[in-house]
A and B are shown apart, each in its own frame.
Chain A
Amino acid sequence: ETGVTQTPRHLVMGMTNKKSLKCEQHLGHNAMYWYKQSAKKPLELMFVYNFKEQTENNSVPSRFSPECPNSSHLFLHLHTLQPEDSALYLCASSQKADLSYNEQFFGPGTRLTVL
């Protein structure tokens, strides 16, 4: 257990569905991240939130919409996804996002399949 939880662990959705992924960290950290991990590809950073403010968006399509209501919770809202969006979506947290060494703690991930 890393102190970062994600729900659901598995999700199957159609291209017209709307769903949300949830991440919660119990470590008192101030930065939270969404990553996408596809088969045979490097881990891709999607979004970074630092003190609830989005500080990075790595050219992610608008069908992915993040939300960070407080430093402990992070959501990823999904709508009109494509089959190529099927991947493992990982949430991570760290003490702070920038300027200094900060170890990231990862959640177990949500395995998303888009039909």
Chain B
Amino acid sequence: GQNIDQPTEMTATEGAIVQINCTYQTSGFNGLFWYQQHAGEAPTFLSYNVLDGLEEKGRFSSFLSRSKGYSYLLLKELQMKDSASYLCAVRDRITGGGNKLTFGTGTQLKVEL
């Protein structure tokens, strides 16, 4: 099975930088996703990491260390609209073929003035 941990809540200031961590335990790691979900809306894809290192996409970056079972999502130049829940999801290979995607509980980010 999988165990995914991420902080429940974080608060940051507009214009600042925030790092949201995700740790996981899995037997057949095959990729990690970050999704953003605004209240009352569907999740939207932010990033995907399968190799170690940093993936940068505009104001958002995602880092992965497979040996440590660790990822983080970095948000720069925070805006009020970034207030949302950030979901870490880990995919791992399952016996018999195929993959299983498991989500963490999400980190509720509040951006303040």
Contacts and interface: CB of A to CB of B under 8 A. Distances in A.
B6 to A, nearest CB: 10
Given A42-B105, A43-B87, A97 B98 contact: yes
Interface residues of B, number: 22
Contacts of B106: 42
Given A40-B105, A43-B87, A98 B99 contact: yes
Which one of B41, B42, B102, B104 has the highest number of Cβ atoms from chain A below 10 Å of its Cβ? B42
B105 A2 contact: no
A75 interface: no
A42 B45 CA distance: 16
A43 B99 contact: no
B44 interface: yes
Nearest to A55: B98
A108 B42 CA distance: 5
A105 B113 CA distance: 31
Given A56-B100, A106-B42, A109-B42, A101 B105 contact: no
A45 B102 contact: yes
A43 B44 CA distance: 13
B98 A41 contact: no
Nearest to B31: A101
A32 interface: no
10 contacts: A40-B105, A42-B4, A43-B43, A45-B102, A56-B100, A98-B97, A99-B98, A99-B99, A103-B45, A109-B42
